[in-house]
Amino acid sequence: MPPRDPKRLTMREQLFIRAYLGAARGNGAKAARLAGYSPATADRAAYVVLRRPRVRVAVDQALRAEAAKAGVNKDSLVGHVVKVMLESKPFERLKAIELLARLLGYFAPTRSIRETIPHQEGSSYEQLEATLQEHAADLTPEQRETIVRATERDIAAAQRCLAILHTPRQIS
């Protein structure tokens, strides 16, 4: 059997996307259940599936197509946000201002760390370090902080494991 094209959606991913954009109305766990994932792990499955770049691209393309079909564009969104900003309560105004700033490009689009730094399962720390060095300039401050926190957690976990391994066992 030939290897599967990693850019091509699986049947289950296609079912998930149809459900996510249709009956589930953006509810990932419900879409996962409708696509045949276990109800017990549907929320986790939805999280994992939605993080896959090929699924994210397909969802984004479908949403853009729906927006174009409905006549929604940047100008109409800006007009609506400005209206909300002028007629809403203070908290809603702040959210509208933030959204307006994003629509007008004052915030750089964010990318996840996984999209920024390609990582392969089973990679050694040396390989990860080399990849991190290569892509360090592409990281946002938030992504850098996330990596620092994750690394600190890994170091703490490794230290606890070493302590357990070096603790003499009591023979009963």
**CA separation (Å) from 163 to 109, 157, 166?**
42, 10, 5
pLDDT digit string (tens) for 61-98? 998 888 888 888 878 877 887 788 778 777 777 777 77
Q: Which of 17, 46, 72 is the last residue of a domain?
A: 72
Query: Looking at the domain assignment, is residue 118 inside a domain?
Result: yes
Residue 103 and residue 136 in one domain: no
pLDDT digit string (tens) for 95-136? 777 777 777 776 655 555 455 545 455 545 565 566 667 767
Residue 64 and residue 5 in one domain: yes
Neighbour tally for 44: CB within 10 Å: 14
Query: Looking at the domain assignment, is residue 51 inside a domain?
Result: yes
Residue 31 and residue 65 in one domain: yes
Domain that holds residue 124: 113-166
Residue 168 DSSP label: P
pTM of the full predicted structure? 0.50
